[in-house]
Amino acid sequence: MNFPDIFNLYTRWFSNYIHHFLKTYPELSENIEIKADHSRKVHLEILGIAQNLGLNDEDTFLAETIGLFHDIGRFKQYVKYQTFSDSKSQNHAELGVEVLKENNILKELSSEHKEIIYNAILNHSRAEIVPDTNEKVIFFSKLIRDADKLDIWRLITDYYMVKEQRENKTIELELPDTEEISDEVFYPILNHKVILKESMKTLNDFKLLQIAWIFDLNFDYSVQRLYEKKYLEKIIKTLPENDKINQVKNIVDLYLNKRIKAFIH
Protein backbone atom coordinates (compact mmCIF):
# COMPACT_ATOMS: atom_id res chain seq x y z
CA MET A 1 0.00 0.00 0.00
CA ASN A 2 1.44 3.39 -0.95
CA PHE A 3 1.54 6.50 1.24
CA PRO A 4 -1.49 8.29 -0.30
CA ASP A 5 -3.62 5.17 0.17
CA ILE A 6 -2.54 4.84 3.79
CA PHE A 7 -3.27 8.50 4.46
CA ASN A 8 -6.73 8.10 2.91
CA LEU A 9 -7.36 5.32 5.44
CA TYR A 10 -6.29 7.69 8.22
CA THR A 11 -8.63 10.45 7.09
CA ARG A 12 -11.56 8.02 6.96
CA TRP A 13 -10.72 6.65 10.40
CA PHE A 14 -10.44 10.20 11.75
CA SER A 15 -13.88 11.14 10.39
CA ASN A 16 -15.45 8.01 11.90
CA TYR A 17 -13.72 8.66 15.22
CA ILE A 18 -15.07 12.22 15.37
CA HIS A 19 -18.54 11.04 14.31
CA HIS A 20 -18.58 8.67 17.29
CA PHE A 21 -17.99 11.55 19.71
CA LEU A 22 -20.53 13.82 18.02
CA LYS A 23 -23.17 11.08 18.10
CA THR A 24 -22.43 10.03 21.69
CA TYR A 25 -22.00 13.52 23.17
CA PRO A 26 -24.25 15.88 21.16
CA GLU A 27 -24.28 18.40 24.01
CA LEU A 28 -20.50 18.81 23.58
CA SER A 29 -20.60 19.03 19.78
CA GLU A 30 -19.52 22.68 19.41
CA ASN A 31 -16.04 22.22 20.87
CA ILE A 32 -15.62 18.73 19.42
CA GLU A 33 -16.25 20.21 15.96
CA ILE A 34 -13.87 23.11 16.68
CA LYS A 35 -11.06 20.67 17.45
CA ALA A 36 -11.88 18.43 14.48
CA ASP A 37 -11.79 21.45 12.15
CA HIS A 38 -8.53 22.58 13.76
CA SER A 39 -6.96 19.15 13.16
CA ARG A 40 -7.92 19.20 9.49
CA LYS A 41 -6.61 22.73 9.04
CA VAL A 42 -3.33 21.93 10.80
CA HIS A 43 -2.98 19.10 8.28
CA LEU A 44 -3.31 21.68 5.50
CA GLU A 45 -0.84 24.05 7.18
CA ILE A 46 1.80 21.35 7.64
CA LEU A 47 1.26 20.24 4.04
CA GLY A 48 1.90 23.84 2.94
CA ILE A 49 5.18 23.92 4.86
CA ALA A 50 6.18 20.49 3.50
CA GLN A 51 5.51 21.57 -0.09
CA ASN A 52 7.40 24.83 0.43
CA LEU A 53 10.40 22.85 1.68
CA GLY A 54 10.14 20.39 -1.22
CA LEU A 55 9.86 17.30 0.97
CA ASN A 56 9.73 13.90 -0.69
CA ASP A 57 6.60 11.71 -0.68
CA GLU A 58 7.61 9.77 2.43
CA ASP A 59 8.35 12.83 4.54
CA THR A 60 5.25 14.63 3.25
CA PHE A 61 3.16 11.63 4.31
CA LEU A 62 4.72 11.68 7.80
CA ALA A 63 4.05 15.41 8.08
CA GLU A 64 0.42 15.02 6.99
CA THR A 65 -0.14 12.15 9.43
CA ILE A 66 1.33 14.12 12.33
CA GLY A 67 -0.77 17.15 11.37
CA LEU A 68 -4.03 15.21 11.26
CA PHE A 69 -3.40 13.27 14.47
CA HIS A 70 -1.53 15.83 16.59
CA ASP A 71 -4.64 16.64 18.69
CA ILE A 72 -6.35 13.24 18.55
CA GLY A 73 -6.21 13.12 22.35
CA ARG A 74 -8.32 16.28 22.66
CA PHE A 75 -11.59 14.44 22.10
CA LYS A 76 -11.20 11.96 24.95
CA GLN A 77 -9.86 14.78 27.10
CA TYR A 78 -12.86 17.02 26.44
CA VAL A 79 -15.63 14.48 26.93
CA LYS A 80 -14.04 13.30 30.19
CA TYR A 81 -13.09 16.67 31.71
CA GLN A 82 -14.96 19.33 29.66
CA THR A 83 -11.78 21.36 29.37
CA PHE A 84 -8.85 21.79 26.99
CA SER A 85 -6.57 22.77 29.87
CA ASP A 86 -3.98 20.03 30.34
CA SER A 87 -3.18 21.26 33.86
CA LYS A 88 -6.82 20.70 34.86
CA SER A 89 -7.08 17.31 33.16
CA GLN A 90 -4.51 15.20 31.29
CA ASN A 91 -1.69 15.91 28.89
CA HIS A 92 -3.56 15.76 25.59
CA ALA A 93 -0.47 14.84 23.54
CA GLU A 94 0.25 11.81 25.73
CA LEU A 95 -3.43 10.89 25.56
CA GLY A 96 -3.27 11.18 21.77
CA VAL A 97 -0.38 8.75 21.49
CA GLU A 98 -2.34 6.34 23.71
CA VAL A 99 -5.35 6.60 21.37
CA LEU A 100 -3.24 5.83 18.30
CA LYS A 101 -1.60 2.85 20.01
CA GLU A 102 -4.84 1.46 21.48
CA ASN A 103 -6.51 1.56 18.06
CA ASN A 104 -3.38 0.28 16.28
CA ILE A 105 -3.82 3.05 13.72
CA LEU A 106 -0.23 3.05 12.46
CA LYS A 107 0.00 -0.72 11.96
CA GLU A 108 1.10 -0.38 8.32
CA LEU A 109 4.15 1.69 9.28
CA SER A 110 7.70 0.80 10.26
CA SER A 111 8.86 1.23 13.86
CA GLU A 112 10.99 4.17 12.71
CA HIS A 113 7.97 5.95 11.23
CA LYS A 114 5.92 5.27 14.35
CA GLU A 115 8.67 6.70 16.56
CA ILE A 116 8.78 9.90 14.51
CA ILE A 117 4.99 10.35 14.59
CA TYR A 118 4.57 9.56 18.30
CA ASN A 119 7.45 11.78 19.41
CA ALA A 120 6.46 14.70 17.18
CA ILE A 121 2.94 14.54 18.66
CA LEU A 122 4.41 14.47 22.19
CA ASN A 123 6.63 17.47 21.36
CA HIS A 124 3.94 19.59 19.71
CA SER A 125 2.52 21.03 22.93
CA ARG A 126 5.66 21.19 25.06
CA ALA A 127 7.30 24.50 25.94
CA GLU A 128 10.39 23.24 24.10
CA ILE A 129 11.27 20.26 21.94
CA VAL A 130 12.88 17.51 23.99
CA PRO A 131 16.51 17.10 22.85
CA ASP A 132 16.68 13.96 20.75
CA THR A 133 19.46 12.12 18.96
CA ASN A 134 16.98 11.45 16.15
CA GLU A 135 17.22 14.45 13.83
CA LYS A 136 14.04 13.39 12.04
CA VAL A 137 12.05 13.60 15.28
CA ILE A 138 13.37 17.12 15.86
CA PHE A 139 12.59 18.16 12.27
CA PHE A 140 9.01 16.86 12.30
CA SER A 141 8.47 18.31 15.77
CA LYS A 142 9.40 21.72 14.36
CA LEU A 143 7.00 21.20 11.45
CA ILE A 144 4.01 20.39 13.66
CA ARG A 145 4.77 23.15 16.16
CA ASP A 146 4.72 25.74 13.36
CA ALA A 147 1.60 24.34 11.69
CA ASP A 148 -0.25 24.13 15.01
CA LYS A 149 0.58 27.74 15.87
CA LEU A 150 -0.56 28.99 12.46
CA ASP A 151 -3.99 27.45 12.80
CA ILE A 152 -4.44 28.34 16.47
CA TRP A 153 -3.73 31.96 15.49
CA ARG A 154 -6.48 31.66 12.87
CA LEU A 155 -8.87 30.05 15.32
CA ILE A 156 -8.37 32.50 18.17
CA THR A 157 -8.34 35.66 16.05
CA ASP A 158 -11.63 34.55 14.48
CA TYR A 159 -12.94 33.86 17.98
CA TYR A 160 -11.85 37.20 19.46
CA MET A 161 -13.82 38.96 16.70
CA VAL A 162 -17.09 37.27 17.79
CA LYS A 163 -16.37 36.85 21.51
CA GLU A 164 -18.91 39.51 22.50
CA GLN A 165 -21.72 37.63 20.74
CA ARG A 166 -20.54 34.04 21.24
CA GLU A 167 -18.35 33.61 24.30
CA ASN A 168 -16.62 30.24 24.67
CA LYS A 169 -14.88 29.77 28.02
CA THR A 170 -13.34 26.47 26.87
CA ILE A 171 -11.37 28.24 24.13
CA GLU A 172 -10.28 30.76 26.78
CA LEU A 173 -9.11 27.89 29.06
CA GLU A 174 -11.58 29.22 31.65
CA LEU A 175 -9.21 32.14 32.43
CA PRO A 176 -10.70 35.34 33.93
CA ASP A 177 -11.14 38.17 31.43
CA THR A 178 -9.62 41.03 33.43
CA GLU A 179 -7.30 43.93 32.56
CA GLU A 180 -4.39 42.36 34.44
CA ILE A 181 -1.15 41.33 32.72
CA SER A 182 1.18 39.20 34.84
CA ASP A 183 4.87 40.08 35.11
CA GLU A 184 5.75 36.40 34.55
CA VAL A 185 4.14 36.75 31.12
CA PHE A 186 5.21 40.29 30.24
CA TYR A 187 8.95 40.16 30.94
CA PRO A 188 9.82 37.06 28.87
CA ILE A 189 8.46 38.83 25.77
CA LEU A 190 10.92 41.68 26.32
CA ASN A 191 13.69 39.07 26.02
CA HIS A 192 12.20 37.27 22.99
CA LYS A 193 11.25 34.25 25.10
CA VAL A 194 8.23 31.98 24.88
CA ILE A 195 5.87 31.97 27.87
CA LEU A 196 5.17 28.98 30.06
CA LYS A 197 1.51 28.01 30.32
CA GLU A 198 1.87 27.78 34.10
CA SER A 199 2.54 31.55 34.19
CA MET A 200 -0.91 32.47 32.83
CA LYS A 201 -3.42 33.95 35.25
CA THR A 202 -5.75 35.91 32.94
CA LEU A 203 -7.10 35.87 29.38
CA ASN A 204 -4.74 38.75 28.55
CA ASP A 205 -1.85 36.57 29.71
CA PHE A 206 -3.10 33.87 27.33
CA LYS A 207 -3.16 36.38 24.47
CA LEU A 208 0.42 37.41 25.22
CA LEU A 209 1.46 33.75 25.29
CA GLN A 210 -0.06 33.41 21.81
CA ILE A 211 1.82 36.51 20.64
CA ALA A 212 5.12 35.19 22.06
CA TRP A 213 4.85 32.10 19.86
CA ILE A 214 6.47 34.23 17.17
CA PHE A 215 9.79 33.61 18.93
CA ASP A 216 9.40 29.87 18.34
CA LEU A 217 8.66 29.76 14.61
CA ASN A 218 11.08 27.51 12.77
CA PHE A 219 10.44 28.01 9.05
CA ASP A 220 10.42 31.08 6.80
CA TYR A 221 7.15 29.92 5.24
CA SER A 222 5.49 30.08 8.68
CA VAL A 223 6.78 33.60 9.31
CA GLN A 224 5.48 34.67 5.89
CA ARG A 225 2.04 33.17 6.63
CA LEU A 226 1.90 34.93 9.99
CA TYR A 227 2.90 38.23 8.38
CA GLU A 228 0.38 37.97 5.55
CA LYS A 229 -2.53 36.99 7.82
CA LYS A 230 -1.76 39.79 10.33
CA TYR A 231 -2.63 37.46 13.21
CA LEU A 232 -0.52 39.28 15.79
CA GLU A 233 -2.00 42.66 14.87
CA LYS A 234 -5.46 41.20 15.37
CA ILE A 235 -4.59 39.84 18.83
CA ILE A 236 -2.94 43.10 19.93
CA LYS A 237 -6.09 45.03 18.96
CA THR A 238 -8.03 43.03 21.57
CA LEU A 239 -5.62 43.97 24.38
CA PRO A 240 -5.91 47.07 26.60
CA GLU A 241 -4.05 50.20 25.50
CA ASN A 242 -1.24 50.80 27.98
CA ASP A 243 2.55 51.08 28.19
CA LYS A 244 3.10 47.34 28.59
CA ILE A 245 1.12 46.49 25.47
CA ASN A 246 2.85 49.27 23.51
CA GLN A 247 6.20 47.75 24.47
CA VAL A 248 5.01 44.32 23.37
CA LYS A 249 3.75 45.71 20.06
CA ASN A 250 7.06 47.45 19.32
CA ILE A 251 9.15 44.39 20.19
CA VAL A 252 6.99 42.05 18.12
CA ASP A 253 6.89 44.42 15.13
CA LEU A 254 10.67 44.79 15.13
CA TYR A 255 11.22 41.06 15.47
CA LEU A 256 8.73 40.13 12.74
CA ASN A 257 10.11 42.70 10.29
CA LYS A 258 13.64 41.46 10.98
CA ARG A 259 12.62 37.86 10.26
CA ILE A 260 10.83 38.88 7.05
CA LYS A 261 13.79 40.92 5.79
CA ALA A 262 16.19 38.05 6.55
CA PHE A 263 14.68 35.78 3.91
CA ILE A 264 13.47 38.38 1.42
CA HIS A 265 16.98 39.78 0.88
pLDDT of residue 163: 87
Q: Answer whether residue 125 shows pLDDT above 70.
A: yes
How many C-alpha atoms does 238 have within 13 Å on its Cβ side?
A: 23
Domain around 202: 175-264
Q: In percent, how much of the chain has pLDDT > 90?
A: 93
**Residues 88, 205 within the same domain:** no
Angle at which helix 220-229 crosses helix 135-162, to 10 degrees, equals 0
pLDDT of residue 164: 83
**Residues 12, 142 within the same domain:** yes
**Residues 187, 251 within the same domain:** yes
Last residue in a domain, options 147, 166, 198: 147
Please state, in angstroms and rounded to a whole number, the distance separating the CA atoms of residues 226 and 228.
6
pLDDT of residue 261: 87
**Residues 93, 143 within the same domain:** yes
**Residues 103, 185 within the same domain:** no
pLDDT of residue 265: 59
DSSP state of 122: H
Last residue in a domain, options 127, 147, 167: 147
Map residue 156 onto helix, strand or coil.
Answer: helix
DSSP state of 126: S
pLDDT of residue 181: 93
- Asked if residue 134 belongs to a domain, the reply is yes
**Residues 133, 182 within the same domain:** no
Query: Which pLDDT band holds residue 165 (cuts at 50, 70, 90)?
Result: confident
CB atoms within 10 A of CB 15: 12
- Asked if residue 48 belongs to a domain, the reply is yes
**Residues 138, 218 within the same domain:** no
Taking every pair of C-alpha atoms in the chain, what is the biggest distance, in angstroms? 58
pLDDT of residue 191: 93
- Asked if residue 95 belongs to a domain, the reply is yes
Q: Answer whether residue 122 shows pLDDT above 80.
A: yes
Q: Which of 42, 55, 59, 236 is nearest to 149 (CA)?
A: 42
Map residue 40 onto helix, strand or coil.
Answer: helix
- Asked if residue 166 belongs to a domain, the reply is no
**Residues 223, 126 within the same domain:** no
- Asked if residue 161 belongs to a domain, the reply is no
**Residues 44, 98 within the same domain:** yes
**Residues 64, 108 within the same domain:** yes
Q: What is the pLDDT of residues 45-71, one digit of tens each?
A: 999 999 999 999 999 999 999 999 999
- Asked if residue 100 belongs to a domain, the reply is yes
Share of the chain residues as helix, strand and coil, in percent rounded to the nearest 5? 70, 0, 30
- Asked if residue 158 belongs to a domain, the reply is no
CATH of the domain at 39: 1.10.3210
**Residues 130, 202 within the same domain:** no
Give residues with Cβ within 8 angstroms of 249, minimum separation 6.
Answer: 236
Query: Measured in whole angstroms, how far is the alpha carbon of residue 252 from the centre of its chain?
Result: 20
Angle at which helix 57-69 crosses helix 135-162, to 10 degrees, equals 50
**Residues 120, 200 within the same domain:** no
Please state, in angstroms and rounded to a whole number, the distance separating the CA atoms of residues 88 and 106.
29
Q: Give the mean pLDDT of 204-231.
A: 97
Q: Give the mean pLDDT of 244-249.
A: 95
Q: What is the pLDDT of residues 10-47, one digit of tens each?
A: 999 999 999 999 999 999 999 999 999 999 999 999 99
Least confident of 6-10, 102-106, 177-181, 220-224: 177-181
Please state the domain count of the chain. 2
Last residue in a domain, options 132, 147, 162: 147
- Asked if residue 162 belongs to a domain, the reply is no
Buried b / exposed e along 169-188 (16+ C-beta atoms within 10 A):
ebbbbebeeeeebeeebbeb
